[in-house]
């Protein structure tokens, strides 16, 4: 790309997709086309006169269609190479990206959240609203335990100068039966309680839960601590939930073999609940749905079932696209307990063969392209309990107690798996990619971060928060390091 193109690329974007596509700016730029070519200018479905409809369709076909208007403000010019390097340096000075320091990972633990009771969800929602006055103060880290107790803890990762430290402020209500916040009602009998049953809105205000005996999806306000809606549309138990990267849509899978796509309702850009009914119902499976994923940007909803298939639908029209079948001997009963979608549309599928009792060749990881092309598989030695894809990496936790990080494209291990010694129930990467949160069978929260030997300090540290007289005790590696044993 020449320097001239780089310097003027934003102007072309303004004309084709941006603010100069319509309105006075378009007139001034001599960028005006026939009115029928613009998206939304004509509602063909509303026309009752067949001749008029055909005439308009002919005009649209003749004049062509203007692209969707994506931007209503001027697009910023492209940074020069020098400016890009400066910006990257500034960004890197805030928090360490653990994926750039994989050989230096260390584990720390937090107790007292869910003592003796499995921790099945731990997440730091990525779009928590921050006022100027609250900069530097902790964000929320949400936990859900097997006994339905919900915790809203304080979380603050540190900058690169002491990257292996962090602030964790325990929610004191989780250990007091009188103040505990819990999910309403029992889960369906015999249902395995996993992290797939819970989704937290990106602003940490709402908790969506499935697996309830009445086939409902419940929405809980985390600020009020109470259920604000029951959505019953499935004909059987809801087995899994997932939300998209932007927090606009939620997808649910059920024992009734269907998936439903729901709108997360918003007021002023803030999630306030779930639409009373789904806007798409997706069919195609012959057995219960075990795992789901959704990407609004790619218009793609993906579901995995006990029938051994993965089906892709579009979101906007609910149109069936294709069925993926991970390789397996026909005589064996394959299931799809987990799957994940990367930002580029790669589909990572975890499959398990139900009939075999030994771990040998029972579990496998498969990679498909956005267009459904099979790329490769990798046999696993452990049973995966949770999986997420971040950039070019796959992060997985297993019931055998191993935290694994694999390369997305080769499926090979990036580092030796970290042995957590107990079954892992959930994994989550924090939004700055500075830490991995791991929930264990005994209720411990393991926090994996970069720990360079030169940065290790012992003893208790504290950090003065801007605009606050409160000092937060900071967990240090000397007191809370979790001694993982490398797997062989």
What share of the chain has pLDDT > 90, as a percent?
Answer: 57
Q: Decide: 296 and 246 in contact? Cβ < 8 Å.
A: yes
pLDDT tens per residue, range 197-243: 999 999 999 999 999 999 999 999 999 989 999 999 999 999 999 99
Does some domain include residue 135? yes
Q: What is the pLDDT of residue 89?
A: 56
What letter would DSSP give residue 311? E
Residue 285's nearest CA partner among 352, 335, 328, 241 is 335
For position 456, what pLDDT does the model report?
A: 38
Q: Looking at the 3D structure of the chain, how many domains does it have?
A: 2
Rounded-to-integer distance, Cα 46 and Cα 328, Å: 49
Of 37-46, 70-79, 430-439, minimum mean pLDDT range: 37-46
Residue 267 pLDDT = 87
- For residue 357, what pLDDT band results from cuts at 50, 70 and 90? low
Does position 320 have pLDDT exceeding 70, yes or no?
A: yes
Are 350 and 461 in the same domain?
yes
CATH number of 136's domain: 2.130.10.10
- Residue 459's pLDDT is 33
Q: Are the C-beta atoms of residues 407 and 415 closer than 8 Å to each other?
A: no
Dump pLDDT digits (tens) for 176-192: 888 889 988 789 999 99
Closest CA to 482 of 447, 456, 433: 447
Say if 133 falls within a structural domain: yes
293-319 residue pLDDT tens: 999 999 999 999 999 999 999 999 999
Higher per-residue confidence, 157 vs 305: 305
List CB contacts of 9: < 8 A, sequence separation 6 or more: 77, 78
Identify whether 358 is part of a domain.
Answer: yes
Q: Is the pLDDT of residue 478 over 70?
A: no
Do 297 and 435 fall into the same domain? yes
Does residue 208 lie within any of the structural domains? yes
DSSP secondary structure string for all residues of 393-460: EEEEEETTSEEEEEETTT--BSSPPEE-SS-EEEEEE-TTSSEEEEEETTSPEEEEEE--GGG---S-
- The angle formed by the CA atoms of residues 381, 385 and 387, to the nearest 5 degrees, is 95
311 shares a domain with 278 = yes
Average pLDDT over residues 409-430: 96
Q: Indicate whether 66 and 121 sit together in one domain.
A: no
Q: State the average pLDDT for the chain.
A: 86
184 plus 39 within the same structural domain: no
Please report whether residue 83 resides in a domain.
no
Would you state the structure tokens that stand for residue 132, as one six-digit string? 């100027």
DSSP 345-367: --EEEEEEESS--SSTTTEEEEE
Domain co-membership, 124 together with 245: yes
Beta bridge partners of 386: 397
Distance (Å) of CA 485 to CA 107, 446, 448: 11, 14, 14
Q: Which range among 45-59, 248-262, 464-478 shows the weakest confidence by mean pLDDT?
A: 464-478
Both 159 and 68 in a single domain?
no
User: Among the listed ranges 107-121, 276-290, 373-387, which one has the minimum average pLDDT value?
Assistant: 107-121
Residues 173 and 287 in one domain: yes
pLDDT digits (tens, 9 = 90+) for 230-276: 999 999 999 999 999 989 999 999 999 999 999 999 988 889 999 99
Q: Is the pLDDT of residue 437 over 60?
A: yes
Last residue of some domain: 78, 110, 142? 78
Residue ranges making up the domain that contains 14: 3-78
Count of helix runs (H) and strand runs (E) in the chain:
5, 33
Query: What's the confidence (pLDDT) of residue 356?
Result: 65
Among 158, 129, 176, 147, CA closest to 447: 158
Which of 373, 380, 374, 298 shows the shortest CA–CA distance to 338? Answer: 380
In a domain, 84, yes or no: no
Q: Is residue 16 part of a domain?
A: yes
**Residue 61 pLDDT:** 83
Predicted confidence band of residue 71 (pLDDT cuts 50, 70, 90): confident
Same domain, 306 and 441: yes
Share of the chain above pLDDT 70, in %: 86
Whether residue 89 lies inside any domain: the answer is: no
- In this predicted structure, what is the pLDDT of residue 209? 97
One domain for residues 332 and 274: yes
Could you tell me which of 338, 281, 279 has the C-alpha nearest to residue 306?
A: 338
Q: Give the predicted TM-score (pTM) of the model.
A: 0.77
Last residue of one domain, picked from the residues 50, 78, 106: 78
pLDDT mean over 15-42: 87
Residue 329 has a pLDDT of 73
Task: Return the structure tokens found at 82.
Answer: 């020098």
Instruction: Return the structure tokens found at 347.
Output: 């589909």
Shared domain for 425 and 467, answered yes or no, is yes
- Residue 353, pLDDT above cutoff 60: yes
Name the band, by pLDDT with cuts 50, 70 and 90, for residue 473: very low
Same domain, residue pair 297 and 244: yes
Q: Looking at the predicted structure, is the pLDDT value of residue 29 above 50?
A: yes
Q: From 44, 78, 112, give the residue that closes a domain.
A: 78
CB hemisphere CA count around 481 (13 angstroms): 15
């Amino acid at each position: 790309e020449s320097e001239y193109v780089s310097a003027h690329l934003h102007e072309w974007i303004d004309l084709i997709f941006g603010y100069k596509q319509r309105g006075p700016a378009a007139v001034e730029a001599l960028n005006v086309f026939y009115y029928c070519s613009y998206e939304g200018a004509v509602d063909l479905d509303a026309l009752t006169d067949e001749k008029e409809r055909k005439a308009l369709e002919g005009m649209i076909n003749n004049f062509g269609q203007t692209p969707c208007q994506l931007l209503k403000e001027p697009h910023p010019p492209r940074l020069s190479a020098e400016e890009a390097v400066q910006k990257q340096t500034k960004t890197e000075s805030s928090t360490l990206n653990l994926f750039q320091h994989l050989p230096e990972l260390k584990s720390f633990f937090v107790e007292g959240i869910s003592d003796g009771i499995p921790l099945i969800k731990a997440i730091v929602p990525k779009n928590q609203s921050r006022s100027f006055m609250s900069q530097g103060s902790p964000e929320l880290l949400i936990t859900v335990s097997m006994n339905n107790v919900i915790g809203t803890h304080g979380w603050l990762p540190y900058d690169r100068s002491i990257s292996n430290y962090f602030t964790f402020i325990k929610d004191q209500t989780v250990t007091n039966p009188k103040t505990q916040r819990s999910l309403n009602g029992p889960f369906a009998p015999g249902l395995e309680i996993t992290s797939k049953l819970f989704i937290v809105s990106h602003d940490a205000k709402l908790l969506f839960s499935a697996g309830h005996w009445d086939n409902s999806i419940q929405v809980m306000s985390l600020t009020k601590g109470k259920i604000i809606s029951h959505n019953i549309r499935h004909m059987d138990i809801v087995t899994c939930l997932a939300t998209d990267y932007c927090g606009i849509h939620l997808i649910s899978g059920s024992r009734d073999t269907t998936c439903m796509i729901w709108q997360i309702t918003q007021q002023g850009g803030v999630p306030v609940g779930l639409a009373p009914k789904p806007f798409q119902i997706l069919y195609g499976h012959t057995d219960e749905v075990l795992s789901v994923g959704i990407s609004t940007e790619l218009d793609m909803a993906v579901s995995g079932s006990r029938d051994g298939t993965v089906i892709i639908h579009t979101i906007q029209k609910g149109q069936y696209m294709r069925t993926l079948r991970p390789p397996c001997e026909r005589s064996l009963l394959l299931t799809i307990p987990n799957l994940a979608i990367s930002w580029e549309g790669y589909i990572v599928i975890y499959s398990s063969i139900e009939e075999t009792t030994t771990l040998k060749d029972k579990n496998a990881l498969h990679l498909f392209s956005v267009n459904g092309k099979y790329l490769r598989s990798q046999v696993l030695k452990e049973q995966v309990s949770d999986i997420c894809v971040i950039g070019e990496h796959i992060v997985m936790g297993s019931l055998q107690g191993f935290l694994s990080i694999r390369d997305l494209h080769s499926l090979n291990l990036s580092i030796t798996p970290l042995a957590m010694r107990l079954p892992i129930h959930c994994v989550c990467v924090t939004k700055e990619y500075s830490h991995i949160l791991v929930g264990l069978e005994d209720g411990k929260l393991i926090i994996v971060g970069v720990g360079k030997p030169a940065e290790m300090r012992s003893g208790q540290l504290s950090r003065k928060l801007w605009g606050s007289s409160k000092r937060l005790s900071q967990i240090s590696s000397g007191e809370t390091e979790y001694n993982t044993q490398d797997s062989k």
